[in-house]
Chain A
């Protein structure tokens, strides 16, 4: 198969290239810039690069285009996911500016940007090879990022992540090989051939491919790595990872479900994923109950949240995909916001995430406590936040698609989670004499601003009119 590469193909990659080049520039600037400005330089350059990429990204929204012979497909669908990934990167870079250690900041930001490139590649991946390329680019940068902090737990986390992720990648690659064997092509589009429905290679290969996806989405029972890794990694990295990995993988999964399925097999082929999603909703929320660390708690929360998003896709309807994207956008803001507050109440990443430190927060910083309350309410899915609207929409689409049991799992999971989230809120509004140290880094106001933006977004998304919400782009 020959592919004619034209300049249009390269333009399709422009946002990713901009982010990648920004990462290089950040590293180079760090090398030559005077010591006392490198911190500012790295953050400013990274923010600029992300903003330029986000602006450039928009252009492709209205026209779908299959670049490199269908290996990378840009269009409304990929643009929405790429924008979400860029928002996550932007928020995390700002957080890094607020709490990161000076001598490592350029390297960390460059790695984070490259990791974002991987996730953005997954958002448009149209072939098995591009998917794998994106996943590995995302993950390799993340392994390094996790080990950045000067703590044994960080190195342990990085090591665990590397080992387990490699195992999962191995299964996934094996599955991809089988899929290739079945269809004779790496293009996802070629998997739709109805002849494949009776080919065992499709079933086994698809199953192994879904194992990889489940691992990246940290669905139970492939979730065990995530609480440890979330806890060990530096706080901004956790913030980035929790959103970018989910966004990229969800894009791949949605494309697989909606655009790579021979007719008539979806129900049976995907059933294990829906079961696993249902288990995750319950187990993730139950797991939250006994946690004493905010990052671990949010890891379990993320396990449940991705279950909600998958439930939206279960029916395979257009509305389902739109609601999944809507929920992902809402989740991005509430999750980033929660991490921003965690970063703000303490400059030490480990201190900030211990739940005991939230006791009496309302006395010391009423604003931080109020914002955190909004984010926790959103994660729990209470009005007037986007979390509430998102869950209502998902419930409606899941139930009408016939997956009532997934809806029940969602409700039960939500009910359990209320207890865990409410516990933090109660602690924040309790009186306590324990004193907090406040971060005084130059980017702290920016981190505050990002927390407030997240809070506004979480509330405003609740009132997005259906006219805007229900036209989110679909996989084509």
Chain B
């Protein structure tokens, strides 16, 4: 059985929006030295053009497939067909359309912002070549109509992420972070690869349409195994526990990279994968439960760890991890529309938070430790407004975008019968409010602490404080980028950060539900004991408590008066469990790095030289010997050849004589 995913046809705009960023990357890479600053404008222009093409393709992407029983929708462009079952093409349906809009739309704003942020970087053109390449890779991931194309995109975004985390490769910490991110992501890629093996073995096709159409023919354990393998990939890419440890380190990359790749788009690929494979997950409750639990744990763990960070970007990194946990929890339990909606609003407000923090970091010459900030409200009023809107949105203050989508996820867990996840969601909402307002108060309230001795603030390695500052402040005096280049994108993002969530207003009749009406399964669910409105009120109460605690600890007049003392005290008394991030890194190191090294030693010293090399040597030797044997028949004498020929003929004749004799 085959699902026709989307109306097959020729969609030049779809090809254009997919390939433009690749063309941009190639041109910028090839002509970077000639383009100079124009590289930024060109890079932004191609992504902007790609966004326009996306909007123009909107109609195609939302067209229902005529006569399809399964409520299918979208546009399908065939590219290459290969062996039977291996057809490659592009699919634009509401789900991929949403992702493409964010990738190109938010991507465009971040490209423009980067022109200002990276203005005085030596490798300005290289940065935009990588950024454009990332956009292309991410579009490949979400537009592919098959698992292999998705895996190709999956691998390429990992590669782009590796390049961009390690963009400042003269910093050893950046190189280490890039390597860590790459290795963990490759582990995820292998998971997806195994899922594809299992899919091909059972369905004989890689096309989404064929796989989803034949999901009924898969046995339950087999389907569960496929889902688990796919989810390993999703968890690695989306920084889910226990494969999340690369994300905080990835903040070594330039801030626009953190905004685009490690907040808005790439890290949500796992959410996309689970939502895309909704037909698989919907058939297996165990797989759904696993994803939901992992998502819930990640949401809670990220929020707890976010409370213990001092680096502004690491706080945001843990909050990203926690918010993606929400999304994964949502799509995991089956609340696909809610989970995807949280991706949509999160892309805006988290990009805004990162870009806003970038404004601060830029203004303070690469200072990232919030303990050395403070009182920035007056110095950087625009950054304060931008961060305030972002914080209000992420905390789910009613009216801001985050409130709609987060409540949809939390209520969705209850609707689908997971009260514990529901409780985790509410608890996490309170914690989120606490650590985000902590960030806001410590950064913007009180008085500026940038000239206080780092050790007085409890900074453990004062010599490391502001290393980025030392490395990249050389050109600070000659900084000429016009301020609007960075402010305008942030200003534009304020609008969707507030209003994007309103698309969810109206429950089943909201524009959001209409948009996805034909995309996701809609089982009829029992009405839970707690209504949606009550849920919102409970969440709000928790959020209020979180804000209140943060206010009491950091924003009261008393707290601000002895801020230096308090911050030092908090830094010193921080539990080791939290400063070491629950020892995940140490555990992974012990489990995988050390054991691999052990295996490596065993193989390198014993098995490889003795057994494998020996076998190879023997094989090569015997092959050579056989070759010589064959050659020895080749005497070069005609009579010898004729003799062999006649022997052959004799064998043939004996066979045919026997066969024809046996006929009578």
Contact = CB atoms under 8 A, between A and B. Distances in A.
Contact of B80 (A208, A222, A392, A463): A463
B624 interface: yes
B641 interface: yes
B657 A227 contact: no
Given A283-B630, A286-B623, A290-B624, A222 B645 contact: yes
A228 interface: yes
B663 A200 contact: yes
A163 B645 CA distance: 12
Contacts of A214: 648
A181 to B, nearest CB: 14
B84 A164 contact: no
Contacts of A159: 638
A204 B630 contact: no
A167 B649 CA distance: 11
Contact of A465 (B81, B641, B657, B660): B81
B648 A222 contact: yes
Given A224-B634, A287-B630, A466-B81, A160 B656 contact: no
A9 to B, nearest CB: 36
Nearest to B641: A224
A218 to B, nearest CB: 11
Contacts of A286: 623, 626-627, 629-630
B661 to A, nearest CB: 7
A206 interface: yes
Contacts of A77: none
B480 interface: no
A224 B653 contact: no
A286 B624 CA distance: 8
B644 A221 contact: yes
A160 B631 CA distance: 17
B644 A200 contact: no
B641 A466 contact: no
A68 interface: no
A224 B633 contact: yes
B82 interface: yes
The size class of the interface chain B forms with chain A is 35 or more
A465 B80 contact: yes
B647 interface: yes
A203 interface: yes
Given A164-B645, A463-B82, A467-B81, A206 B656 contact: yes
Nearest to B631: A290
Given A163-B642, A286-B623, A419-B623, A227 B634 contact: yes
A36 interface: no
A171 interface: yes
A326 interface: no
B620 interface: yes
Given A224-B633, A289-B627, A290-B627, A207 B652 contact: yes
Nearest to B86: A466
A389 B83 contact: yes
A203 B623 contact: no
Query: Which among B84, B657, B659 has the greatest number of chain A C-beta atoms within 10 A?
Result: B659
A271 B631 CA distance: 27
A168 interface: yes
A287 B627 CA distance: 5
Given A211-B648, A211-B649, A222-B645, A164 B638 contact: yes
B640 interface: yes
A208 B660 CA distance: 14
A-B pairs, 6 with minimum CB distance: A289-B627, A290-B627, A203-B660, A207-B656, A224-B641, A200-B660
28 contacts: A159-B638, A164-B638, A164-B642, A164-B645, A167-B645, A168-B645, A171-B649, A200-B660, A203-B657, A203-B660, A203-B663, A204-B653, A204-B660, A207-B652, A207-B653, A221-B647, A222-B644, A224-B645, A269-B659, A271-B655, A272-B656, A286-B630, A287-B627, A288-B627, A291-B631, A463-B80, A463-B82, A466-B83
